[in-house]
Amino acid sequence: MPVLVVIETSKGKLSKAAIEAASYGAQIAANSGAQATLLSIGEASNDELAKAGSVGISKVLKCDASAVHHFDPQAYAKVAQAAVESTGAKTIIFVHDRSGKAVAPRLSAKLQAGLVSGAVALPEMSNGFVVSKNVFSGKAFAQYKINTDVKIISLLPNSVPPVQKEGSASIEAFNSSLEGYSSPFTTENKVREETGEIPLPGAELVISAGRGLKGPENWGMVEDLAKTVGAATACSRPVSDIGWRPHHEHVGQTGIAIRPNLYIAIGISGAIQHLAGVNGSKVIVVINKDPEAPFFKAADYGVVGDAFEVIPKLNEAFRKFKSQNA
C-alpha cells in the first residue's frame, strides 16, 4: 500500500523527527512492496530534501507556496489531501509535533480515515493494522486496530530509530493545490524563536529543572551542564508558568512529551503530570534533596543531594571525562 509522509520543514532543514517519520513510512511501504512519498511543506532546498532518499523515500513532493510560509493548518491539510489523491496513499504518516497534532486530525476528518496520534512503534500488520501508543500518562500501552481503508498515524519523536537505505529521492514541485487559496486568517509576524541550541522535542539528552532551583537567576548552572554534555534544556510547568523559563521548555501532560535517551531531572518532585511527558525516556536520573521525592520511584539512578552542590560537581566530572576521552 502506497505511503505518504507529511512533514513541515523548519528553517529549511529536515529535522531528526522528520527523518524518523520518513524512515517509518518507508518501512511500512516496503512491507507491501509499495513506494513511500514524502510531502515537504515549507521552504527547503532540493539538496536537503534529497536526503530523504537515504531512509527509503523514492519521491519528494515539495510545497513551498507563500501560503505555507507561516503555519496555517488549514492550508497544510489542503495540500496533504491533494498529495493523498495524487499518490493514492492508503497510509499517511505525520510527526507527532505541533504541526502534526494540528493537521493530522483535520486530514482524518476530510478523508474519514482512522487516526492514531502519538504512535511509538511500527504497526503490526499480520492481522489487520494495529498501532501501539502510550496511554494513562505513559503508564500503559494500548493497541489500536485501524479499520478504515485510509489510515493515519502521527509518530512520537525518538520512538522508532531511522533505518538507513541505499537510494535517492526525486523532487517534484507541488504547489498547484494552493493556487487561489485564501487563508481564513492572517498571521501577524509574532513568531518567537526558540532559545537553546538543541531543539527539545527530538533531543537525545535533556537536562531539566524545577522549582527546586529557587529562581531564574540559578539556571546558568543548568545551561552550563547542558552545554557540557550537548543536551537540550527543559523544565517543569510551574517554572514556565512563573516565567522563569520559556513555555516551549515545559514538559509533561500539558507541555510536550519527550523520549530522550537520558533525562536528568533536577529539583523536580515528580508529580504524575510531569512524569506523563518524560516517562518514555530510556534512562532517568533524578537529583533531589528530599529522599522521599516521588520522582525517585521512576528513576534509574538517583542522587539525594542539594542541586547547588551536585550540579557543579557533575559538570566538573563530565568535563574531566570529556577531556580524558577527547
Ligand X SMILES: Cc1cc2nc3c(=O)[nH]c(=O)nc-3n(C[C@H](O)[C@H](O)[C@H](O)COP(=O)(O)OP(=O)(O)OC[C@H]3O[C@@H](n4cnc5c(N)ncnc54)[C@H](O)[C@@H]3O)c2cc1C
Task: List interacting residues with ligand X (CB under 6 A).
Answer: 210-212, 236-239, 252-255, 267-269, 271, 273-274, 277, 287-290, 293, 306-308
Which residue, 53 or 267, has its beta carbon nearer to ligand X? 267
**Helix or strand or coil: residue 323?**
helix
Which residue, 177 or 240, has its beta carbon nearer to ligand X? 240
| Whole-Å CA distances, 109 to 36, 80, 234 | 22, 12, 34
Which residue, 27 or 117, has its beta carbon nearer to ligand X? 117
* Cα distance between residue 315 and residue 266, in whole Å: 13
Cross-strand bridge partners of residue 94? 6, 154
End-to-end CA distance of the chain: 47
Q: How many CB atoms lie within 10 A of CB 98?
A: 14
CB of 266 to ligand X, least distance (A): 7
CB of 221 to ligand X, least distance (A): 12
Which residue, 39 or 234, has its beta carbon nearer to ligand X? 234
Cross-strand bridge partners of residue 250? 235
CB of 48 to ligand X, least distance (A): 33
Go through the chain and tell me how many residues it has. Answer: 326
CB of 226 to ligand X, least distance (A): 17
Which residue, 236 or 315, has its beta carbon nearer to ligand X? 236
Torsional sign, CA 228, 229, 232, 238: negative
CB of 124 to ligand X, least distance (A): 30
Contact 280, 138 (CB under 8 A): yes
